[in-house]
Structure 1
Amino acid sequence: MIEHQKIKILIITSRADFGGGPKHIYSLIKELNSKIDFAIACPKDYPYFDLYSKIVGFDNIVEIPHRKFSFSYLFLLIKFVKKNNIHIIHSHGKGAGIYSRLLSSFTGVNALHTFHGIHIDQYNFLTRLLYLFIEKILALFTKRFITVSDSEKDRVIKLKIADKKKIIKIENGIEIDKNKVVKFNSDLNVYNIITVSRFDFAKNSDLLFPICKELNSFDPKFNYAVNILGDGELKDIFEQKIISNELTDKIKLLGTQIDISDILINSFCYISTSKWEGMPLGVIEAMAAGLPIIATNVLGNKDVVKNNVNGFLFDINNPREAAEYIIKL
């Protein structure tokens, strides 16, 4: 009987901390490890560096800097790819995408790239032009692009980053635990509104402040709490804003957790304040648990949430609309 050699894939991510991208990679390698020989290049971040290592083994993991490009690590990866006879290089996110396409140009190994969001809205005009120029050059060394939603695919085509013939849409997925589903209780003392976020520009957590103020104006007796799971570079500033907005009794920071299922099933609804998404894993996980969704009507969110069908979409510039949907629930 002929034994078929397993494909060897090097996955590159410039983040291995809490977030949708690293979690998505973990699900991929966990599910496909018996069929594919995976190697991982990622930073030594908690929690996913250790979780990846447990699946692929420490010999198949290469440490790279957190969200920084380094030529010395590029050369290290070139040696790794050649030594281990890697068949495919697959990058996730823009930082990792620089490594993968340069690796492909040096080694001749085909590169795949998954965007996980087009993060240029916070850039000024010149930085945006530079980013698009670099992406178009790197596209020459990319065999296939993977987008995680129709909206993301449309944006890649509109920005002329890649030929649409090279783009494949593969939506993110999650494991569903049928035993962990919301059981609605009409006698709740506190209505817990949950969100999984990262304190940065894209996740737009500051939008929660005017939403809370609108909720307070609608019904001062409405007993709710907004519970935020996550971390990020702007967390300290956000905490100060909670105090300055006099919302310490309403907004609670729960930190980061690997398994959020128990928190989800004990919540009232899920809210997303993002300016954009690739494919929002937090929203998908909340939907799988049976939570009502209230989300900004932006790329990614609108690919998952169908307004008035499986959730509510609100105008990002209209926090009152979000509050109205919460009260409606």
Structure 2
Amino acid sequence: MSKIRVVHVLNAVGGIDVYLRSLLTNVNNKEIENIIIHSTDDAKTPFTDKDGNILEDYKLPIYREISPLKDLQAIYSTFKLLKKLKPDLVHAHSAKGGVVGRVAAKLAGIPSLYTPNAFSYLSTNNPLKRNIYIFIEKLLRGGNSALLATSPSEANRGALDVGFTKDRILLYNNSIEPPQSAKPLSIPQTWPDKYICTVGRPSYQKNTSLLIRVIASVKEKQNIHLVIMGVGHYCEDLQKIKKLITDLKLEDSITLLDWTSRNDVFSIIKNSALYISTSRYEGLPYSVIESLALGKPCVVSNCDGNRDLIEDGVNGYVIDDEDPAQYAEKIITLLNDNSKREAMGAESFTKFTENYNILNTIQNLEDHYKNFVKRFKHGR
């Protein structure tokens, strides 16, 4: 049987880059050939398959910012490349890759799967922008395309908000390889041995201002230290968050790490008391999955992605409202109850093993690829 040729279209940054590389290094390269089309200014590290072979990739002007002229150029360039490559399937990732990849695939007569990793309309509270983003999603939902959701919550949004029909919704949970034994930190540990942690740039999505207020609320009753990994050097919200930390006199209670290697992320999570997320929305967050894999209880907001991974009272707590006091209560409960923290951590590890270990789940993705290609070859 000949290989299925899949072309991935994306802006390879952040979690989207992690998502793609996880797939590429685990998918069966004897049956599936992967080619990558990505931005001229994103990932510099080559993409490799499970045997370490460098994969074919093409750089095109696929930029995150909305620019009608550049976006049309990206669509046209991708279309021309697809006509040359003649893939069986296009896998379009995230908002911009989703638009460019699906439109180019439609023009080229190639079926496409779309993985939002959190729908773009969730990124704004501006009603006009939100409606425009939803309109674009609805415009592109039909034809030769289907949704490949990263979580049950994302699948539900695809049906209820965007209007994908049931036969056009597939599910493949974000998954990772089990973390290897964490190596020593590559950076000096400048924070106390007892701490909690989170990952993510200060942003509207991560609701970082709420996170800082949660720490202030905990500090009213108990000493605590928070490590925030991956805040970035040029994050637009970073200065606002630093000011809030200063205003609340939390400079000695919060450590901001600009950039953190993947091994360091694993090491910091592993040695923390718990993981916290105050996000407004997610796809299926890798940092929470990593926390499950490392046997950590989590205190998280009740948003898409988080609620798929954490079962309230079982492997952590899910907080419904943006109330710092509610987060603080659960965090203090776990900090002061070792047996509960260990029991919830054990449940986290079980959930990871059963549902999010890519060594066990990758076959599901391969089946989606094969079945979707077969479906459109038969004109359905």
TM-score norm. by structure 2 comes to: 0.77
After superposition, residues 190-269 of structure 1 pair within 5 angstroms as 190-219=193-222, 222-231=223-232, 232-259=235-262, 260-269=265-274
Question: Which residue does 1:185 correspond to in 2?
Answer: none
- 2:61 pairs with 1:64: yes
Structure 2 counterpart SS, 1:139: coil
Q: Does 1:144 align with 2:146?
A: yes
* Among candidates 315, 319, 339, match of residue 314 of structure 1: 319
Once the two structures are TM-superposed, the CA of residue 293 in structure 1 deviates from its matched residue by 0.7
- Stretches of structure 1 that go unaligned for 5 or more consecutive residues are 182-187
| 1:36-63 superposed Cα distances (whole Å, 9 cap, x missing partner) | 22111222456x4414278674752323
Please list every run of 5 or more consecutive structure 2 residues that lacks an aligned counterpart in the other structure. 184-190, 335-380
| TM-superposed deviation, 1:291 | 1.5
Which of 155, 158, 161 is equivalent to 1:159?
161
CA RMSD after TM alignment: 2.3
Residue identity opposite 1:152 in structure 2: E
CA–CA distance in 1 between the matches of 2:45 and 2:103? Answer: 26
Q: Are 1:93 and 2:98 an aligned pair?
A: no
Q: Which amino acid aligns with 1:134?
A: I
What one-letter code is carried by the residue in structure 2 that aligns with 1:242? I
Question: Does structure 2 retain, via aligned residues, the 8 Å contact 1:39–1:56?
Answer: no
What do residues 116-145 of structure 1 show as CA deviations (whole Å, max 9, x unaligned)? 112324242222222222211211234321
- Cα separation, 2, equivalents of 1:25 and 1:168: 17
Q: Provide Cα deviations, 1:92-122, integer angstroms capped at 9, x if missing partner.
A: 1111111112112211011110121123242
Which of 255, 275, 282 is the matching residue for 2:280?
275
1:228 CA drift (Å): 3.1
Is the 1:43–1:49 Cα contact (8 Å) retained in structure 2? Answer: no
* Residue identity opposite 2:127 in structure 1: F
Q: Which residue of 2 aligns with 1:120?
A: 121
Conserved 8 A contact 2:198-2:229? yes
**Alignment TM-score, normalising by the size of structure 1:** 0.88
Higher helix share: 2
- Percent identity between matched residues is 28
Q: Please report how far the alpha carbon of residue 284 of structure 1 lies from its aligned counterpart in structure 2 after TM superposition.
A: 0.6
On the 8 A contact 1:190/1:225 being kept in 2, the answer is: no
Q: 1:50 aligns with which of 27, 32, 45?
A: 45
**Alpha-carbon distance in structure 1 between the residues aligned to 2:118 and 2:45:** 25
| In the alignment, structure 1 residue 24 sits paired with structure 2 residue 19 | yes
How far residue 33 of structure 1 moved from its aligned partner, in angstroms, is 6.1
Counterpart CA distance in 1 for 2:240 and 2:53 is 38
Structure-to-structure mapping, 1:298-313, within 5 angstroms:
298-313=303-318
**8 Å contact 2:113–2:146 — kept in the other structure?**
yes
Deviates more, 1:142-151 or 1:32-41: 32-41
CA pair 133-227 structure 1, distance change in 2 beyond 3 A: closer
Closer, same or farther in 2 for the Cα pair 1:142/1:195, shift >3 Å? farther
In the TM superposition, residue 167 of structure 1 has moved relative to its aligned partner by 0.2
